[in-house]
Every structure is written in C-alpha cells, then in structure tokens.
Amino acid sequence: MQTNFKYPMNVVAKDTVSGFQGLIIARNAHLFGCAQYGLAPQELSADGSPRQTEYFDEARIEILDATNAVYGENAYEKIFAISLGSEVRDKVSEYQGKVLAILENLHNCNQYYVERPVDKDGKVQDGRWFDEGRLEVIGKGISPEEVEAPKRGSVFSRDLPR
C-alpha cells in the first residue's frame, strides 16, 4: 500500500498521456491505493477566466520545472489528521460515512471525500468533500490493507475539488 506522495507541490508538471501542463497545486490519495496530482494551468482561457485544475494519476506525471518546489511532508500520516478508511461524521451537518480519498492543497486546506453506505433500497450514495476541521472520527472504518489488491487502481472521479 502506497503511503507517500512521490512529487512535491508548486512544480511545473505535465501529464505524459495528454500533454496537459500546469502547476501541482493538489495531491490526493485514494483508499484503494491510487495517488493523483492536481495540475492548474498557468495561463488563462481565451475569455480571460482561469482554466480548470485537472487531476492525473501519479504514474502519468512528468516534472518539467522544480525551481519553486515546496518540499514538505510526503507521508500521508504526517499530512492528514484523519486516516483513509476512517468512519467519520461532519460536525455541521452530521453527514456520516467512510473516508475514501484525502486531498492536500498547496495552500494548507486538507479535504476528505466521505461516502455513505448504500441506502435502504441498496442504492449507492454520492459522496461529499469536507474540510478537515469539520470532521470527527467516530469509528475505525476500513483499513487500506483490507481493500488492497495485487495491482493498484483508481476510483477516478472528475468530481475532485477544483
């Protein structure tokens, strides 16, 4: 099970598959073993608005310029107060579920993707993103080792915070 990020923040990187380039402003990890990086384009769109941050799997990232790299902690347990898989409750809305993804932003805002169990009809519920301070751990949940597979994979979602 991977427990460290490979690349630092604030470096210019590109996705080797699509050629998309940007500044690494976010790093996230999933309960199922995948790490991804948020690349924010450094130029505006044609209408002058900021372009969207896009997320790519770690294996697809190539560092182009590390001149302004921000080197901090890379170990998940030192970055995040709540572990992947933990059973949590939002202190504001009382939304409860398990942490399936953790996200570190360049400007110190850790967020957690929390998914609820299936509803009474067996339908999968959509998850929600919460800032770290809003969550409290209410149970062990599930450990990454319990869902580890021989090959790493991703629960890829374009619903990551932008």
Predicted structure pTM score? 0.85
Question: CATH assignment of 76-145?
Answer: 2.30.30.390
Q: Where are the domains of the chain?
A: 12-65, 76-145
Contact 99, 113 (CB under 8 A): yes
Q: How far apart are CA 30 and CA 154, in angstroms?
A: 7
The Cα diameter of the chain in Å comes to: 53
Contact 151, 32 (CB under 8 A): no
At 24 the pLDDT is 97
**What digits encode the pLDDT tens for the residues 66-118?**
999 998 899 999 999 999 999 999 999 999 999 999 999 998 789 999 999 99
